[in-house]
A = this chain, B = another copy of it.
Amino acid sequence: MLVVGSIGYDTIYGPIESGTSLLGGSATYCSIAASNLTNVAILAVVGSDFKPEHFTTFKEHGINIDGIEQTFNEETFAWSVRYNHDDINSRETLDTQLNALATFNPQIKDVHKQEKILFLANMDPALQIQVIRDMGTRPQWIGLDTMNFWIDSTLETLTEAIRMVDIVFMDEGELRSYAQSNNVMVAAHEILKLGPSFVVAKRGEHGVILINEEWAFAVPAFPLTTVVDPTGAGDSFAGGFMGFLDSHNDISTAVFKRAIITGSIMGSFAVGALSTEGISHVTYANFNKRFNDFSILTQFDPLEPNETFPWK
């Protein structure tokens, strides 16, 4: 699986913990989450200040970093955020320094061209299109994430990118804004009409809903009594989801549903600690336990074939 996106240094003022120069970025969270499940290669750019220990972090997760370009005339993308103590879902971006990311020009290498799955994290849709074209052979599944900035500024190019992919990740507000509909289901179906097979509508602490032409599958976020740092939850979700698909050859409805659970689990681990600390230490035992906890949280007895409900 190939992940294209950002690697950055985050300054985070969280509700519980804070820190500066923390390893972050969409490709970071996504690739670490996916690395639990499948082989991951990453395509991104870092600057002159990028620390060797952080290359090691990727390598320790078995992530192929041949696609990380280091440029020495710029620093690494830097982002600073403050979370609202009264509403963890709301945050204020304090500063964004694109630095090396400003001139990022992803170069697909031959080793990337065999990847079955491509995840395009939030970035300029023109670059997302370029990456798909440069892949040569089309990957089996292409996922695309985006944000309001691109919906507002480059709607036509974004639409062109969406037409080329299979799975679109947006939060509910972005979906409503993109499709000009207040109803998330209606908005998702507008996107399906453009070509993608699936829309993942992200609902923050309320979970996600996966929508296709035939069915939808909704999962609540795992209820946590402590959310340390919401940064990277969506990218960790995408990494778990796409990584789970990559680890299966036959992609059925049942696999898609489990992939959504897997993504939700990765998101829940990501928010449990500051920066990448949460997503970096997911063990199989912890994953397995949370998969079963998700069953308790969401599964009920279906109506048996010969069963009827009490009804007046």
Contact = CB atoms under 8 A, between A and B. Distances in A.
- In this complex, the member of A85, A217, A218, A310 whose beta carbon has the largest number of chain B beta carbons within 10 angstroms is A218
A301 interface: yes
**Interface-central residue, A38, A183, A292, by most chain B CB under 10 Å:** A183
Contacts of A36: 311-312
A311 B218 contact: no
Contacts of A257: 299-301
Contact of A184 (B223, B226, B260, B288): B223
Given A220-B220, A225-B183, A303 B284 contact: no
A184 B284 CA distance: 28
B86 A182 contact: yes
Nearest to A282: B311
Contacts of A300: 217, 254, 257-258, 260-261, 298-299
Contact of A35 (B37, B207, B219, B312): B312
Contacts of A223: 184-185, 209, 211, 216, 218
Contacts of A225: 183, 185-186, 189
A141 interface: no
Interface in A27-76: 35-39, 62
B288 A182 contact: no
20 contacts: A36-B311, A37-B312, A62-B312, A87-B182, A184-B223, A185-B223, A203-B206, A206-B207, A206-B220, A215-B296, A216-B223, A217-B296, A217-B297, A218-B297, A218-B298, A257-B299, A260-B300, A292-B303, A298-B298, A299-B299
- What are the 4 tightest A-B residue pairs by CB atom distance, in nearest-first order? A218-B220, A247-B310, A206-B206, A257-B300
